[in-house]
Amino acid sequence: MNDDIFILGITMTKFGKHPDKDAVDLGAEAAMNALADGGVTMADMGVLAAGNLMNAAAGFGQQLQKQIGQTGIPVFNVVNACATGATALRTAIMAVKAGECDMGLAVGVENLAGAGLLAGGFGKPDGHTWEPSGRYGAVAPVDGRIGTDTMPGTFAQVGMEYLHEHAYSGEAFEMFAKISEKNHSHSTLNPLAAYNKLMTLEEIMGDIMIAYPNTRPMCSANCDGGAAAVVVSAEKLKTLSLEQQRRAVKVSASVLTSDPYTEGCQVLPDVNTLTRSAATQAYEEAGVGPDDLDLVELHDCFATAELVHYDNLKLCEEGGAVEFFESGATWRDGDMPVNVSGGLQSKGHPISATGIANIWEVCHHLRGEAGDRQIEGATVGLAHVIGLGSACGVHILEKAA
Amino acid sequence: MTTETVARIPLVDYLVLEDPPHLVAHECTSCGARFFDRRNACASCFGTEFRSAELPTEGELVSFTIVSFAAPGVPVPFVAGVIDLDGTTVRGNIVNTEPDTEHVTLGMKVRLTTFSIGSDDNGVEAVAFGFEPAS
Ligand SMILES: [Zn+2]
């Protein structure tokens, strides 16, 4: 029996500001469009996996069903930081793969427009008497006193650590800013991106510094958005129309990892080891290598993160990420186009939607439906997300035969 | 004549203020992995026995960022760094130098230093640590 899994329908909403829509509205829009894209209805779904990080305790999946169809199927409300969307998809895939059902729906949505820093801060004011508390016995908040808990600062250190490990001697700030220049340039072709304005290197470097070397446009944009996907078993797909079969995209690998212990991971999250492990497993499972990829959507939550993931996803030689980037390979006309959607820096990063939206981007190209930004002849693509804590999702997708 | 001693308390319990100030870690007795917070078991080998290990006070800056935008109440700019203390990685601010890339560079040698962050209503002084250039 063929136990392959396919994406039958998939969509993302426009990312940006949706002040008139709440998370359920955005989720309903994404889910109903994904069902319509796949030519199926809620009656066909055997499982729902749903993620909405900011209201994790609210039972988002059940709230969503009340707007799009209550059929009594099992709902898995999932949470995995920035990998929540990929985790929802992975959950639906596992259910179908396990034979529990032959179709499943995964939805991720977030309302983040206008949100500021999503971590860090003193939390509560310093007390009038020093009282040790917490696992470090801290008498006062430590963010800003013992390093930084902010995401821009954390990922800035991830990128800088890579440069130190590989004895980089160039201009770090400019090199990272050029990665952002690429993604902002790519975004001009993406009408669903939150920001699709071309930005010059000077504009990027001259913008507000958030955490050196990341200026504001080098950071992922908080915004609203939703994404959803319908997955189907190979056996079930065979019973559907030829058009549905033609547009279906094969999930050649679906991998989720957490961070194994490494020295130093308690100090600076190690986003490398779990990504490298997920990529290794995914290539093995799919039977393809990095050279087979026509496009990659990777988790560029910050410009400094994109660099290290070139290496972690084995798109380049170990230690060769800077050289690889500077060769022009990752621009949309290069050998290994990365983030042709504009990436999180311009497309936006509505957390739980991100891990499905990047798969939508890859599917869009594999189906030959990406319009102006189509990567011609794309047949294999990879989508990667990482959520600090940590969780990493890697999916490899292939055009159906 | 009386000697007035100021009561002091470290910002975190892995900072030891005496002779001279240094950091300590919980070291797994089976595999040697070191942790700054208390652990129920070792994340590396699942062992449950720990001993105290004193860390060197000098090391190398292996990564940093200059934070210009932080949560309300956190003074900026400041340099957050990752320091390799002879094989044990710690985090801390780089202090006693200008927060810019002329003065803070990857690979620079740094050493532990301590400073007061204020006294509470009982006159107890809280002491924090950072790392300063050691050259
Ligand atoms: Zn151990």
ipTM: 0.95
Give the CATH fold of the A5-114+222-399 domain. Peroxisomal Thiolase; Chain A, domain 1 (3.40.47)
Active-site annotation holds for A82: yes
Chain B contact present for A2, CB below 8 A: no
Residue A166, class by beta-carbon neighbours within 10 Å (0-12 exposed, 13-18 middle, 19+ buried)?
middle
Interface test with B, best of A117, A118, A131, A148 (most B CBs within 10 A): A148
Q: Which domain holds residue B33?
A: 7-133
Minimal Cα–Cα distance from A241 to chain B, Å? 50
A145: burial class by Cβ within 10 Å (0-12, 13-18, 19+)?
buried
Question: Would the CB atoms of A146 and B92 count as touching at under 8 Å?
Answer: yes
Question: Is the peptide bond preceding residue B44 cis, with omega within 30 degrees of 0?
Answer: no
Per DSSP, the residues of A278-294 read HHHHHHHHHT--GGG-S
Is residue A166 within 8 angstroms of chain B, CB to CB? no
**B12 contacts chain A (CB < 8 A):** yes
The residue of A139, A154, A270 whose CB has the most chain B CBs within 10 angstroms, and thus the best one to mutate to test that interface, is A139
Helix (H) or strand (E) holding A64: helix A60-68
Residue A312: is its pLDDT beyond 50? Answer: yes
Considering the entire predicted model, what is its pTM?
Answer: 0.96
C-beta separation of A328 from A389 below 8 A: no
Q: Two tokens at A89?
A: 């998809």
**Cα of B29 to ligand 1 centre, how many Å?**
7
**Binary contact (A144, B70; C-beta < 8 A):** yes
In whole numbers, what is the pLDDT of chain A averaged over residues?
95
A228-266 core/surface letters (b: 16 or more CB in 10 A; e: else): bbbbbbbebbeebeeebbebbbbbbbbbbbebeebebbb
What tokens appear for B114 in the block? 């301590």
Structure-derived torsion over alpha carbons of residues B16, B84, B134, A120, reported in degrees to the nearest 10: -70
Q: Residue B4 has what pLDDT? A: 61
Chain B residues lying within 8 Å of A130, measured CB to CB: 9, 120, 124, 126
Distances (CA, A) of B50 to A159, B22, B37: 33, 19, 12
User: Within 13 Å and on the Cβ side, how many CA atoms surround B6?
Assistant: 14
| Digit-coded pLDDT (tens) for A134-191 | 999 999 999 999 999 999 999 999 999 999 999 999 999 999 999 999 999 999 999 9
Spatial contact of B92 and B60, defined as CB atoms under 8 Å apart: no
Q: What is the CATH number of the domain that holds B127?
A: 2.40.50
Which residue among A18, A186, A299, A349 is the active-site one? A349
State which H helix or E strand residue A360 sits in: helix A351-366
pLDDT at A153: 98
Alpha-helical segments (H) within A290-332:
303-312, 321-326
State yes or no: pLDDT of A124 exceeds 50: no
Q: Phi/psi class of residue A256: alpha, beta or left (left: φ > 0; alpha: ψ in -120 to 50)?
A: beta
B43 Cα to the center of ligand 1, angstroms: 7
- B80: closest chain A residue by CA: A147
> Is B46 inside a domain boundary?
yes
Least confident of A1-5, A258-262, B86-90: A1-5
Count of domains observed in chain B: 1
Q: Name all contacts of A241-245 with Cβ < 8 Å and 24+ positions apart.
A: A241/A39, A243/A39, A244/A8, A244/A38, A244/A39, A245/A400
Q: How far is A95 from chain B (nearest CA, A)?
A: 30
Residue range A57-86: mean pLDDT, rounded: 96
Judged by CB atoms closer than 8 Å, whether chains meet at A129 and B64 is answered as no
B24 assigned to some structural domain? yes
pLDDT, one tens digit per residue, over A356-385 is 999 999 999 999 999 999 999 999 999 999
Position with higher pLDDT, A399 vs B19: A399
Question: Does the annotation mark A349 as catalytic?
Answer: yes
Angle between helices A172-187 and A151-165 (to 10 degrees): 120
Lowest-confidence segment of A115-129, A212-226, A237-251, B113-127 by average pLDDT: A115-129
Residue B1: the pLDDT is 45
Q: Check B69 against A148: CB less than 8 A apart.
A: no
Query: Which residues in chain A have their CB less than 8 angstroms from residue B63's CB?
Result: 157-158, 160-161, 164, 268
Is B2 among the domain residues? no
Q: Which of B6, B8, B12, B17 to mutate to test the interface with A (most CBs of A within 10 A)?
A: B12
Distance A348 CA to ligand 1 centre (A): 40
Q: Report how far ligand 1's centroid is from the alpha carbon of B27 (Å).
A: 8
Question: Does the pLDDT of residue A61 top 70, yes or no?
Answer: yes
Answer whether A42 touches B (CB < 8 Å): no
Partner A contacted by B93 (CB < 8 A): yes
* CB contacts, 8 Å: A137 with chain B: 12-14
3-state secondary structure of A354: helix
Radius of gyration of chain A (CA): 21
Q: Are residues A244 and A379 in contact, defined by beta-carbon separation less than 8 angstroms?
A: no
**Å from CA of B23 to ligand 1 middle:** 19
Query: CB–CB of A212 and B68 under 8 A?
Result: yes
Enumerate the β-bridge partners of residue B53: B25
